[in-house]
Structure 1
Amino acid sequence: MEIMVFFTLLLLVCSVSTNQTEADNEIVDQQISNQQPCPQDIHAVLREMAVSLALQTERITVLQKENQEQAAKLETEIDQLKLQSEEQVAKLESQKTEIDQLKHELQVKQVAFSVGLLDQGSGEIGPFNTQIILIFKHVVTNIGNAYKPHTGIFTAPVRGVYHFDWKVYGIGNFPAGAYLFRNGEKIFITFVRQTFGGVSASNGASLLLEVGDQVSVRIDPGARLFDNQNHHTTFSGHLIFTM
Structure 2
Amino acid sequence: MRSDALILLFCLSLGFLCDAYVLQQGDNVSETKSSLELPVLWDELQGLTELVLSLRAEAVERRQLLRTLESRLRDREEEAEHLSQQRAELSQQRVEMNQLLSDLRKTLEEQKGDLKVAFSAALTDSGSVGPFDQETTLIFSKVFSAVGGAYNPTEGVFTAPVRGIYFFSFTAADFLKGYMGLYLYKNNQPIIFNLNLNDHGGYASTSSNMALQLEEGDRVHLTLPASYRLYDDSRNFSIFSGFLLFTL
The aligned residue for residue 117 of structure 2 is 111
1:197 matched to 2:202? The reply is yes
The aligned residue for residue 60 of structure 2 is none
Distance in 2 between residues matched to 1:154 and 1:139, nearest whole Å: 12
Distance in 2 between residues matched to 1:108 and 1:191, nearest whole Å: 37
1:170 matched to 2:174? The reply is yes
Return the TM-score normalized by structure 1.
0.57
The aligned residue for residue 31 of structure 1 is none
Distance in 2 between residues matched to 1:111 and 1:122, nearest whole Å: 28
Distance in 1 between residues matched to 2:242 and 2:140, nearest whole Å: 13
Which of the two has higher C-alpha Rg? Answer: 1
> How much identity, in percent, do the aligned residues show?
34
The alpha-carbon distance between structure 1 residues 104 and 229, as it changes in their structure 2 partners (threshold 3 A), is farther
Q: Could you tell me which of 138, 152, 165 is aligned with 2:142?
A: 138
Task: Letter of the 1:150 partner, please give it.
Answer: T
Distance in 2 between residues matched to 1:182 and 1:99, nearest whole Å: 28
Return the TM-score normalized by structure 2.
0.56
Structure 1's unaligned 5+ residue stretches are: 1-85
The alpha-carbon distance between structure 1 residues 192 and 237, as it changes in their structure 2 partners (threshold 3 A), is same
The aligned residue for residue 158 of structure 2 is 154
Residue 176 of structure 1: how far off its partner (Å): 1.7
The aligned residue for residue 80 of structure 2 is none
Q: CA RMSD in A?
A: 2.8
Distance in 2 between residues matched to 1:226 and 1:211, nearest whole Å: 33
Classify the secondary structure of the residue corresponding to 1:128. coil
1:114-153 deviations in Å (ceiling 9; x for gaps)? 11001xx331111112211100000011110100000000
Distance in 1 between residues matched to 2:113 and 2:120, nearest whole Å: 18
1:183 matched to 2:180? The reply is no
Alignment of 1:89-108 (within 5 A): 94=100, 98=104, 101-102=107-108, 105-106=111-112
Classify the secondary structure of the residue corresponding to 1:175. strand
1:62-96 deviations in Å (ceiling 9; x for gaps)? xxxxxxxxxxxxxxxxxxxxxxxx99xx79x949x
> Following TM superposition, where does structure 1 have runs of at least 4 consecutive aligned residues deviating by more than 2 angstroms?
97-109
CA contact (8 A) 1:161 1:242 kept: yes
- Tell me the number of residue pairs that the alignment of Structure 1 and Structure 2 aligns: 154
CA contact (8 A) 2:113 2:246 kept: no
Residue 155 of structure 1: how far off its partner (Å): 0.5
1:193-227 deviations in Å (ceiling 9; x for gaps)? 21311100000111111111000000122211000
The aligned residue for residue 229 of structure 1 is 234
The alpha-carbon distance between structure 1 residues 210 and 106, as it changes in their structure 2 partners (threshold 3 A), is closer
Distance in 2 between residues matched to 1:103 and 1:136, nearest whole Å: 32
The aligned residue for residue 79 of structure 1 is none
Structure 2's unaligned 5+ residue stretches are: 1-91
1:32-53 deviations in Å (ceiling 9; x for gaps)? xxxxxxxxxxxxxxxxxxxxxx
Task: Letter of the 1:136 partner, please give it.
Answer: F
Distance in 2 between residues matched to 1:231 and 1:107, nearest whole Å: 33
Task: Letter of the 2:122 partner, please give it.
Answer: G
CA contact (8 A) 1:176 1:223 kept: yes
Task: Letter of the 1:116 partner, please give it.
Answer: A
